[in-house]
Amino acid sequence: MLSRTRAAIFLLMATLRPRLTWHQQFLEDVERMVDAAVLLLSHLVQAVKVLTIIVRQGRIKRMIEMADGSAFTKPESKLKAIRETTIRLAAIIGNVILCSACNTGIFWCIVPALNTELTLPLRTAYPFDIDGPYIFAAMYAYSAISVTVSGVGDAAENFLVSGMFTIASAQLDVLREELKAIGTEGSTDNYEKAKLCVKYHQQIIGYVEEMADIFGLPMFCQFVTSSVVICMTIYKITVTKEPVEMVTMVFYLICVFMELLMYCYPGDVLLYKSMLVAEAAYPSEWSGDQKTSRVLLLTALRSQRPLAIDAGGIFRVSLPTAAAVVKTSYSYYALLRQQLSK
């Protein structure tokens, strides 16, 4: 009786083994597909950003010169302090982002060396044989360097857009301070100051519109692909069994979240500060002359329409959009897990 039971168990195991092997092979294929999808989408977005900078580098240089020029550089100590504080904050954020990109690239290069079977950091197909010791070492070094340089370059591209957002927000703070100074005790030539504030406001609006026209397409591509990339990265984190690989993907997920926040948070701040201009332009206790009040009223009316950037005419660059992207990513992930469980 015992021998018959053992025979039945062995027969059942022999029957299930091909199925288990097929199931394991299926999961491995899905994991490779996830790796390829994350890599493809990340490089496609980065290619759009690089092409945008190359094709429109003249316009970008003019925007940078405008930010450093006399139009956006105020000599007054209080106004100068606002600009310098903003620049220091932007520099700190940029350094944090670059460090995160470097750490992600380093971990990405370390993971293959810790596996039982040494592979390249980028597990893709190559049109030539890479099994030789010299060619494998050369391709490993090339992949490691390219991954790190690509990550740092992508972070720098994102920081360029985020920095321009931050500069525009700082200029709105300066504009509000100049508007509040009109009509105060001891102030003279209120009408001339009001006209200068109107021109200054128009320059800020033109700066933001030019920025939206230049970087609208890269931001649109970033929002479209981020939901899929976040979904695939979360799936990779849940299925991996290697601790170092899990840490690598967590770092990569943080970088993707930071990419969204680098666009959405400064865009949300810009939108909010642009709506505060109306309050500074025409306060409730205003008692100045009628000529100046008309100019300030026009500024207040224009400020009722916030300075918001719509990437591709669809996605509003703000924090609610970032939340919507994350929510969509989780929906994709839940659907993917449900389909794989079947």
| pLDDT tops 50 at residue 330 | yes
Residue 230 lies in a domain: yes
Number of other CB atoms surrounding residue 218 within 10 Å: 24
Residue 161 lies in a domain: yes
Residue 224 lies in a domain: yes
| pLDDT tops 50 at residue 155 | yes
| pLDDT tops 70 at residue 123 | no
Could you list the residue range(s) of the whole structural domain that residue 64 is in?
A: 32-75+154-341
Cα 314 to its chain centre, rounded Å, is 17
CA atoms within 13 A on the CB side of 211: 28
Residue 165 lies in a domain: yes
Summarised one tens digit per residue, pLDDT across range 200-227 is 889 999 999 899 899 988 888 888 888 8
| Range with lowest mean pLDDT among 65-74, 120-129, 306-315, 332-341 | 120-129
Residue 173 lies in a domain: yes
DSSP secondary-structure letter at 177? H
Number of other CB atoms surrounding residue 117 within 10 Å: 5
Residues in the chain: 342
Number of other CB atoms surrounding residue 285 within 10 Å: 5
Both tokens of 123, joined, read 């597990």
Q: What is the distance between the terminal CA atoms of the chain, rounded to a whole angstrom?
A: 37
Instruction: Report, in angstroms and rounded to the nearest whole number, the Rg of the chain calculated over CA atoms.
Output: 27
Burial letters 56-81, b for 16+ CB under 10 A, else e:
eeeebeebeebbeeeebebeeeebee
Residue 290 lies in a domain: yes
Both tokens of 15, joined, read 């029957």
State which amino acid sits at residue 163: G
Residue 65 lies in a domain: yes
- Per the structure, the count of domains in the chain is 1
